[in-house]
Structure 1
């Protein structure tokens, strides 16, 4: 199959956008639009790719879900109230996990895949403070961003505000029990996004404020920091202001990719870094293999997700191994990058620029 689709939200538009990437012609185009219900900056899909979950930066705070069939017909399933605007949402097939600012939530999933009843609301600040703190989209700038659960039912919530990673045990009924709060290695790191190794032994975290890729060993009750690599080139560190965004694995699990956007630094662009992993999942070297400099700053985005499919149209065994999207809010671009491990290169394959001041934030690959 040469045509692949991804669904994007927007930081400035309530509509969802279905894009089509043609891996033969190397073009990215708008396929259709889907009515939305908020500024859906983050969208994701379940493992089967037939359910869509989204957060929104618009008010009041809500979570949303849709079904989608093989012909890309979308049906809105539900809109669920939450206490504070969530940044990211994830699911494990039974429960949906979301976090943003001062709170996090666990919801049961309905038989149709929609977001159901609230299992637990988690206060990330003393409960008496929740009523008076900011719970809008701005709160994610100094609070929680993500809520992810690994294969061993350990959950992690990176929190910029306390410069730490909350660690939980998730029970069979979806309830989450706090087991530790793990301080980031240096002051002001601001851990933002995490990804767990397949076996759950390691946790990879990117820091928003200092652009480090950190590797932690996951114990029964605590995290142990063991490695750190720079997600931006050394020659720009300290000269410009950046914000780390995402850490994602390659399809074969041999590499990690990070994204960082420049922040209020005119003329400075964002970066994607590629790191090699050894057979046990640790960084083979703490230095990145290569950096891709984006053509723009990436604005407040820098979202990045690796495509889950094999490119059957690529017959060169030493050619592209992974495609990934990279999002930009400064000028409204979605870029498709290609990763070629044989020569450790990241390069631009295709791009699409949104119109009418629409700025894409995050997306999910559907096929």
Structure 2
């Protein structure tokens, strides 16, 4: 970068994206202050162990952890070099019992001897210790089995342990560091498993809470706690609702408080044609971003923005003639269905100055056409706007191996999930 470029672009943010159908991991560079406006480019690409469905980062953002849909089922870890500027380097791969879904890394505040890495997918969930020397996967400490037949059913060759099982199995381990709880939404059982932590970081079962709504038809997929741990936000895959639960100190541990629609009211008759996906808090914890996908290319997906009150409840926007439960602050219709993606990650670094409050960047991935986009929110805009995008498998990397080239192996790439490295 030249001196003049550095003046125009004082900060470049690096992201890492996986795909649903190729072997590559992509390093992306987001420049928010370019002379012609924000830009997003493919910085580097790495032949990895994909397709990589989901990524997670260590707390210091120096190690990335990845699931894969490749067989046999494994998880892999990658060293992040120079905040992403110099790419990533393989650390290690570990075997697991069934194809993985979402990964989560414990924060230091939980006080474990080393970070714990949690994964839930289909019939199982695992707890790993992070290797203190390399940051990669260390010893597997626990495996939780969500099958009535337990270990015997898990080892049965007829038991589905492929990526198909993710559609009706466990989907994520979401951590609340304040109340020291963990939550596992289970799509097929239509419930949310509630855990505390044992001293070694393994999960201690507290309860299985049925999902709110029409039992057997909701499919809780992803959750995130409020900043103080007193609320749990859950998105349902089959009905595209945001459910808000009060977190209780004793059984049943969760009590349903609110239900909001991710899709707008005029789409309610076709609600079954959408699939709820991911949700994330804004860096200042005042907003919640929630996504859904179209089931087929005919339906475009949505990103809904909800305002949060001081107690963590969703503050509905009142609109003339509006129906209760549809009061999102704003909604952004995505360029297409999103395919298997429309996954988001909000920019994680909170602004230090008051002037930056009410300003967010959100990265959105698209499986249908392979786009990775940065959406920007400003309170004064009162909406999300796409400010930059890049297309995996079409836009060539500007540095590193394969610079300026797109290989045949990359054609038709579907972006899965991206995380902010810096």
TM-score under structure 1 normalisation?
Answer: 0.95
Match of 1:364 in 2: 419
Match of 2:124 in 1: 103
CA distance in 2 between partners of 1:107 and 1:200 (Å): 24
Higher helix proportion (structure 1 or 2): 2
CA distance in 2 between partners of 1:319 and 1:81 (Å): 43
Q: Is the 8 A contact 2:20 2:50 kept in 1?
A: no
Shift, 1:342, TM fit: 2.5
CA distance in 2 between partners of 1:327 and 1:114 (Å): 25
Q: Is the 8 A contact 1:102 1:144 kept in 2?
A: yes
Alignment of 1:1-367 (within 5 A): 1-24=10-33, 25-70=37-82, 71-93=85-107, 94-111=115-132, 112-126=134-148, 127=150, 128-132=152-156, 133-151=159-177, 152-187=179-214, 188-220=217-249, 221=251, 222-239=253-270, 241-264=273-296, 266-285=297-316, 286=325, 287-309=327-349, 317=355, 321-355=359-393, 356-367=411-422
Q: Is the 8 A contact 1:325 1:337 kept in 2?
A: yes
Shift, 1:318, TM fit: 8.4
CA distance in 1 between partners of 2:103 and 2:337 (Å): 25
- 1:11-62 superposed Cα distances (whole Å, 9 cap, x missing partner): 0111100011110131111000123112111112122111101111121111
In structure 1, the gaps of 5 or more residues are: none
Q: How many residues align?
A: 364
User: Which one has the largest radius of gyration?
Assistant: 2
CA distance in 2 between partners of 1:320 and 1:12 (Å): 36
Q: Is the 8 A contact 1:290 1:345 kept in 2?
A: yes
CA distance in 1 between partners of 2:24 and 2:351 (Å): 29
- 1:189-233 superposed Cα distances (whole Å, 9 cap, x missing partner): 100011111222111110011001111112234211111110111
CA distance in 2 between partners of 1:108 and 1:44 (Å): 15
Bigger mean CA offset, 62-71 vs 210-219: 62-71
CA distance in 2 between partners of 1:357 and 1:319 (Å): 38
CA distance in 1 between partners of 2:308 and 2:130 (Å): 34
CA distance in 2 between partners of 1:333 and 1:343 (Å): 24
Shift, 1:2, TM fit: 2.8
Shift, 1:239, TM fit: 2.0
Shift, 1:317, TM fit: 4.9
TM-score under structure 2 normalisation?
Answer: 0.83
Root mean square deviation, CA, Å = 1.9
Shift, 1:350, TM fit: 0.9
